Amino acid sequence: MSSAAAHGHDEPHVTSLQVYLGIFGALLVLTVLTVYVSAAELFHGWTSIGVAMGIAIVKASLVATIFMHMKWDRKFNVIVFLSSLWFAGLFFTFTWFDLSNRTRVHDIQQHNLPTLERQAAEAESADAKPAAVEEPAHEAKTPAKAGKGKAGKGKAGKH
């Protein structure tokens, strides 16, 4: 039905008045439901967000499919629009990883503080003899050691 309508040329799909009014009625019922669920305090925290978003998604789907005529629109337009939800989902998910792991990163830094301090001290002692790194003519150091000094300096410079 919908695929045939999508290829129709001149005659647009006309939705009946009853369908429009029925959808509007359903949207009102769902609005009352979401207010009731909240006022009666049936759920709390994440569960309450989940239930409220579930009802909102049903409402949004009704508006999109019937009022916005997505059901009778070209499939390509539907894919284009739904792609926005996909990209918004990616955005939420990866930002969520960051949000929910920030404290863990902080803990790991605290845990490794002695190591970091030792590395900083090593870098500082390497900086104390800059001539060894700056002047290649000075042959007192082996190439391996000079490289280490450079790496340490680079790290210290980051802070």
**Which residue carries 């409402």 as its tokens?**
59
Nearest approach in angstroms of CB 135 to other proteins is 51
Is 108 near other proteins (CB under 8 A)?
no
Strand extents, DSSP E, 16-151: none
Q: Between 90 and 121, whose beta carbon lies closer to other proteins?
A: 90
Phi, psi of 138 (to 5 degrees): -75, 110
Q: Site residues for other proteins, window 60-79 (CB under 8 A)?
A: 60, 63-64, 66-69, 73-74, 76-77
- 13-40: burial string, b at 16+ Cβ within 10 Å, e else: eeeeeeeeeebeeebeeeeeebeebeee
* Distance, first Cα to last Cα, the chain: 65
Residues near 155 by beta carbon (within 8 Å), at least 6 away in sequence: 119, 123
Q: Spell out, one character per residue from 10 to 49, where the chain touches other proteins: x when CB under 8 A holds, - when not.
A: xxxxxx-x--xx-xx--xx--x--xx-xxx-x-xxx--xx
Footprint of other proteins (CB under 8 A): 9-15, 17, 20-21, 23-24, 27-28, 31, 34-35, 37-39, 41, 43-45, 48-49, 52-53, 55-56, 59-60, 63-64, 66-69, 73-74, 76-77, 80-81, 83-85, 87-88, 91-92, 95-96, 99-100
